[in-house]
């Protein structure tokens, strides 16, 4: 349980950081060089759920990078859809993709697949690096 909490916190922080960079890049593209970034406190526990990938990371250790990235992308889309739908029903969802061309139910954007592919591999790296760190037990 301690290892899961450790992974949950680290995945939550990594996700938050990536979201801040992503939204700041969006501001840069709009020529807002102050680079404001936006996120929500709700995003920390959502990104923290990536800690649930740890056993899958071990199972797919020897699989092809593309295969692993696609699996992570599908799982992240599933998690985003489930949490987004749950939050929307309570009027708490911090994102709304209704204006995006490739949205599903206003809570996921299929055009974000490359971002989720990379993010999934970053989560994998975080979770598997901890597995091999000296003095630590595996995920």
- Residue 55 and residue 38: Cα distance in Å, rounded? 31
Using CA atoms of 47, 52, 57, 58 in order, give the dihedral in degrees to the nearest 10: 150
- Residue 109 and residue 81: Cα distance in Å, rounded? 10
* Stated pTM of the model: 0.88
Domain boundaries, the chain: 2-127
pLDDT in tens, the chain (139 residues): 899 999 999 999 999 999 999 999 999 999 999 999 999 999 999 999 999 999 999 999 999 999 999 999 999 999 999 999 999 999 999 999 999 999 999 999 999 999 999 999 999 999 997 655 445 544 4
């Amino acid at each position: 349980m301690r290892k899961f909490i450790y992974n949950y916190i680290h995945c939550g922080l990594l996700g938050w950081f990536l979201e801040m960079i992503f939204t700041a890049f969006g501001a840069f593209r709009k020529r807002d060089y102050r680079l404001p970034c936006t996120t929500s406190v709700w995003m920390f526990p959502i990104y923290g759920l990536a800690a649930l990938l740890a056993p899958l990371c071990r199972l797919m250790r020897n699989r092809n990078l593309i295969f692993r990235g696609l699996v992570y992308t599908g799982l992240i889309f599933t998690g985003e859809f489930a949490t987004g739908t749950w939050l929307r029903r309570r009027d708490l969802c911090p994102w709304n993709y209704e204006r995006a061309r490739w949205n599903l139910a206003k809570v996921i954007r299929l055009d974000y697949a490359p971002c989720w592919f990379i993010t999934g591999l970053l989560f994998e790296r975080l979770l598997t690096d901890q597995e091999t760190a000296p003095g630590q037990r595996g995920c």
